[in-house]
Amino acid sequence: PEGESASAPRTVSLGVRVSPTSTEIVLAGRRRFDFRRVTRGMAENAGLAILLASELGVTDDAIQRALDGWQPAKWRGEFRHDGQRLLY
């Protein structure tokens, strides 16, 4: 039926390589983005954000510039004590 292909789900390959000092994301085997070292899960989330930004018309150069200055939120992944509670 007409219009069905426009709403059909797409599959995009997402490759993640984490080294001791950096993270590389490869989308569809050809689009590469490099940024600071993060966990694999954070890199996969970044890959999804990159795909969404692309769908919204953001260029790969603009995405890479944003990744160059990105850093995780303060205290991310830390344990904190709040009275008797241990928070993550």
Ramachandran region, residue 58 (left: φ > 0; alpha: ψ -120 to 50; beta: rest): beta
CB neighbours (10 Å) of residue 60? Answer: 14
Mean pLDDT throughout 32-59?
A: 94
What pLDDT is recorded for position 2?
57
The mean predicted confidence, pLDDT, of the chain is 88
pLDDT bucket at 12, cuts 50 / 70 / 90: confident
d(CA 41, CA 19) in angstroms, rounded, equals 14
**pLDDT at site 3:** 54
Burial class (CB within 10 angstroms; exposed 0-12, middle 13-18, buried 19+) of 71: exposed
